[in-house]
Amino acid sequence: MGKQEKLVKDITSMEEDFAKWYTDIVKKAQLMDYSNVRGCMILEPYGFAIWENIQKILDKKFKGLGHENVAMPLLIPESLLQKEKDHIEGFAPEVAWVTHAGSEKLQERLCIRPTSETLFCEYFSRKVHSWRDLPKLYNQWCSVVRWEKTSRPFLRSVEFHWQEGHTIHETQEEAQNETMRMFNTYADFCENELCMPIIKGRKTDKEKFAGAESTYTIEAMMHDGKILQSGTSHYFGDGFCKAFDITYQDRDNKPSYPYETSWGMSTRIIGGIIMTHGDNNGLVLPPDIAPIQIIIIPISMNKPGVLEKAKEIYNILKEKYRVKLDESNQTPGWKFSEYEMKGVPIRLEIGPKDIEKGQCVLVRRDNREKSFAPLDNLDNEIKQVFIKFKESLYEKALNQRNSLMREAKTKDDFRKICSEKHGFIRSMWCGKEKCEEILKEELSVSSRCISLLDDKISGKCAVCGEDAKHLVYWGKAY
Amino acid sequence: MGKQEKLVKDITSMEEDFAKWYTDIVKKAQLMDYSNVRGCMILEPYGFAIWENIQKILDKKFKGLGHENVAMPLLIPESLLQKEKDHIEGFAPEVAWVTHAGSEKLQERLCIRPTSETLFCEYFSRKVHSWRDLPKLYNQWCSVVRWEKTSRPFLRSVEFHWQEGHTIHETQEEAQNETMRMFNTYADFCENELCMPIIKGRKTDKEKFAGAESTYTIEAMMHDGKILQSGTSHYFGDGFCKAFDITYQDRDNKPSYPYETSWGMSTRIIGGIIMTHGDNNGLVLPPDIAPIQIIIIPISMNKPGVLEKAKEIYNILKEKYRVKLDESNQTPGWKFSEYEMKGVPIRLEIGPKDIEKGQCVLVRRDNREKSFAPLDNLDNEIKQVFIKFKESLYEKALNQRNSLMREAKTKDDFRKICSEKHGFIRSMWCGKEKCEEILKEELSVSSRCISLLDDKISGKCAVCGEDAKHLVYWGKAY
């Protein structure tokens, strides 16, 4: 442990300064870097490789559900952005405007897409004529620009990468089902592949997407008790269709408005992975999205047969896993520390004595548990370890979240909880924005989501004491 | 043939109007559509699926050669774009400028990347310190914006999708090797996967990339004899490194300038595929990039057993191929025509009589050749047909190109050839830009590339009669 301890000191411990711990990891694991455009980031190879793995899994899920990928333009004419009233109000303050091309002034300003509802609507208005043209289930992978005042790696930046799904349907019911289907797809992805426990719910009117009838959200608690909105799915009703004059001939040959949805998940989720699973030695990555799932480190590399055996293991494992053999001249201690920092789930150490015994040392990144794995059954051993690894990650995060899940029946309860640690606060709410504003102003907590379950703590709003309508999860948001 | 003939009439024949034939295919095969932003296109699902297949193949090749994907920002500050003199001169007239964010005017204008050399250089200047940091082999998949005056689907548009590789090396030789390696990667991809014969060469100084020391290019001839630049690889020497002050400590502990390359291929290549292989019935797609490789069409679908058998075949083939079973209510004739339009390489027809005989009808898209394929050996049969299909596509295109490959020894030869059909013109050149300009002005042909082989037609420049330096391929460019 001696050598590692020394290297580990390069990261601030999370107990000392959580924000610094976070940016230290981002920097040391070489996930991203700032560019010299304010608030714009560079996704470095290791960070981008995580995003590529996320893309691969989600893209497969989307296509399996019948979605097709498209690419809409990067630019939106001002007149198009203005068509839906709530939408323009929500996004106008933070869009980047293109006014000139070469040395010429443009006749109409164009904004860089902050999101692409308006572009999809314009396209649908030309393509949808009959009920036979419906539904259309589209998705695109791209980056968008929102001129945020502050920025933090992955969590908030002027440009960020995401996918945005946009669908259009014959009936209200079909569109609502699509909204829920994609909402559940995100929830399952977070829980199963990213091992992140999440709370599923609906946004209040104050917090919903600009132009949506309802927004469904998954909310995850980070190590520091603050809450990260991790994916959203919106039901638009026919609002955008009316604004963009999208009509189709229905099954009774009458003109009708279709119904729309949109849903998105962004590189923000990488920030969520870091702050859910990371520790004071660096990143801890769930195997499904780890760029390197297994690192092989030869011990006493110059002894005869060691490197050969390591290569043999590498060649077998690479058929099934993303595996790397580090045969560089660094010391084993340096390598241990390096790949712990990078969050590689499994480390295999192989030295002369191991070879003699037909085994290797297997070390789990999450709990540093060491075991001996027989070389003739390595694949099966690894499969089992990955299953346990994922279960432990999820359980640990769930226990942490449950330990910071508290209830407030009164404003005094809120005040008391907020003076302690961040976390989720479950509380009844009357449905009025005024009460949300009071909690926001006085205690800096916002409504994260309205519970979808029929659960209840009391009959009265914790803020105003009037009749409660919903159970709401509150917290300090990222 | 009766039914098809009727439907096929929807496409203008290429002999009648080549440009209209091209846009008809783009529209009818639903590859792309214009948006309401001038010159910006929408890649529709079928067109984007072709691009995704191209991406998948190239990305695998790049990664196999050690390249890593990254994501640089979309925006470049004006001061950064201006650092390399030739580069800014080349791109300034056609960049889009962001001047405002929300309601605020920016202190410095930002352009939307027309290409990302300057961003990579800025990043390298912060990351490269020692020879141990070299080489860095990066690539990104993104879209770029160049404010072109005219636009044509895939061939020319304000926004287009591409990949851009950017690498930095210790030595001149290593960078030159990288330039040639990626150049050859593009050439192999065009010839092997896209079945497009290409001419490999180097650009003249007049035609090379703004800021490059040399540009290598692959040039392909389209059906109409016009030439499409299909991929380029640039060697920068240390020009950009000097402009951006990128230095590293070399193996002798002295500060040194590294050497750079960049290379790119864009959605333009989809235009190339259409105009190399397409015919008057629509698209013809090489199997490696076809979104649907095999279409199964049941005949007499309502007869017992037909749909079951078709599904059985579908389930077997889908393990290995991108296959679709069309069980819609359209007539077989409509379906034949539809998937011919979409360029699907193989059509399988399966009806009651075929089932009795344990076979199906296999029709090749390129030559409409019909054969009977035994159901118990279908996979092998298809494998063989794909090999022959690719060979035929390549040969047909090569023959067409060779038939329009002519030589000019004098300006009169040039004049005569240009009065006939477009195509490649091989001719000796003195190396002076003046002679390039004369041919451009008088005959609308430009130098496509300088031959890399030591071939020779005569000793004198065909334009000025002075001593010739190079054999050059000329043509009318897209």
Interchain pair B45, A145: CB under 8 A: no
**How many Å lie between the alpha carbon of B329 and the closest alpha carbon of chain A?**
13
- Looking up tokens 């203008």 gives B12
Q: For residue A373, give every residue at least 6 positions away whose Cβ sits within 8 Å of its Cβ, in sequence order, or none.
A: A348, A359, A360, A361, A362, A381, A382
**Under 8 Å CB-to-CB from A14, ≥6 apart: which residues?**
A21, A22, A223, A224, A278, A279, A280
Rounded Cα distance, B57 and B53, in Å: 6
For residue A229, what are the CA distances in angstroms to A199, A233, A265, A268, B23? 10, 12, 10, 9, 44
Give the whole-angstrom CA distance, residue B260 versus residue B170: 9
Q: What is the DSSP string of B166-187?
A: EEEESSHHHHHHHHHHHHHHHH
Tell me B193's DSSP state: I
Taking CA atoms, B254 is separated from B48, B76, B130, B169, B257, in Å, by: 49, 32, 10, 16, 10
pLDDT tens-place string over residues A193-218: 999 999 999 999 999 999 999 999 99
Q: Which residue of A has its CA nearest to B88?
A: A102
pTM: 0.96
Report the pLDDT value the prediction gives residue A2, as an integer from 0 to 100.
Answer: 42
Q: How confident is the model at residue B2 (pLDDT cuts 50, 70, 90)?
A: very low
Kindly tell me if the per-residue pLDDT of B6 is higher than 60. no
Low pLDDT (below 50) residues in chain A: 1-8
pLDDT at B1 over 60: no
Q: How far from A452 is each of B13, B43, B356, CA to CA, in Å?
A: 59, 38, 56
Helix (H) or strand (E) holding A321: none
Question: Is B394:B195 a contact under the CB 8 Å cutoff?
Answer: yes
- Residues forming a β-bridge with B71: A43
Residue of chain B with shortest Cα separation from A144 = B74
Residue A229 Cα, gap to closest chain B Cα (Å): 23
Name the residue facing B35 among A33, A99, A119 (closest C-beta): A119
Of B73, B95, B145, the CB nearest to A40: B73
Q: Which of residues 36-55 of A touch B (CB under 8 A)?
A: 36-37, 40-45, 48-49, 51-52
User: Is pLDDT above 80 for B128?
Assistant: yes
pLDDT of residue A9: 54
DSSP letter (8 states) at residue A287: G
CA pair distance A391, A277, nearest whole angstrom: 12
Amino acid (1-letter code) at residue A282: G
Q: Chain B contact for A161, CB < 8 A?
A: yes
Q: How many CB pairs lie under 8 A apart between chains A and B?
A: 148
Q: What pLDDT shows up at residue B368?
A: 94
B330-348 mean pLDDT: 97
Mean pLDDT of B232-253: 97
Residue B271 · residue B154 · CB < 8 Å? yes
User: In B, which residues are within 8 Å of A75 by CB distance?
Assistant: 37, 40, 96, 145, 159
Q: Is A102 an 8 Å CB contact of chain B?
A: yes
**pLDDT at residue B36, as a whole number:** 85
Name the token pair of B190: 């065009």
Query: Rounded to the nearest 10 degrees, what angle do helices B45-64 and B172-188 cross at?
Result: 140
Query: pLDDT at position B435, please?
Result: 97
Give the pLDDT confidence of B145-167 residue by residue, as tens digits: 999 989 999 999 999 999 999 99
Q: Is A88 near chain B, with CB under 8 Å? A: no
| Residue A445 contacts residue A474 (beta carbons within 8 Å) | yes
Interface test with B, best of A100, A117, A141, A154 (most B CBs within 10 A): A100
Amino acid identity, residue B290?
A
Question: Strand B346-350 vs strand B294-298: parallel, antiparallel, or unpaired?
Answer: parallel
Tokens of A406: 């508290």
Closest residue on chain B to A108 (Cα): B37
8 Å CB contact of B97 and A92: no
Q: Is A14 on the interface with B (CB under 8 A)?
A: no
CB contact under 8 A, B42 and A77: no
Residues of A in contact with B48 (CB under 8 A): 68-71
Residue B235: φ, ψ to 5°: -105, 125
Alpha-carbon distances of B11 from A91, A223, A332, B323, rounded to whole Å: 43, 61, 66, 26
CA-based nearest distance B290→chain A, Å: 15
Bridge partners of B226, per DSSP, are: none
Structure tokens at A413: 């309860």
For chain B, what is the mean pLDDT?
A: 95
Residues of chain A found within 8 Å of residue B43, distances taken between Cβ atoms:
70-71
Q: What is the distance in angstroms between the Cα of B137 and the nearest Cα belonging to chain A? A: 10
Task: Quick: pLDDT tens for B28-50.
Answer: 999 999 898 888 999 999 999 99
Cβ within 8 Å, pair A96-B94: no
Measured distance CA(A120)–CA(A112) in Å, rounded? 15
Backbone angles phi, psi at A297, to 5 degrees: -120, 110
* Percent with pLDDT over 90 in chain B: 94
| Chain A contact for B30 (CB, 8 A cutoff) | no
Report CB contact under 8 Å: B159, A93: no
d(CA B368, CA A218): 53
Q: Is-contact B340 B281, C-beta < 8 A? A: yes
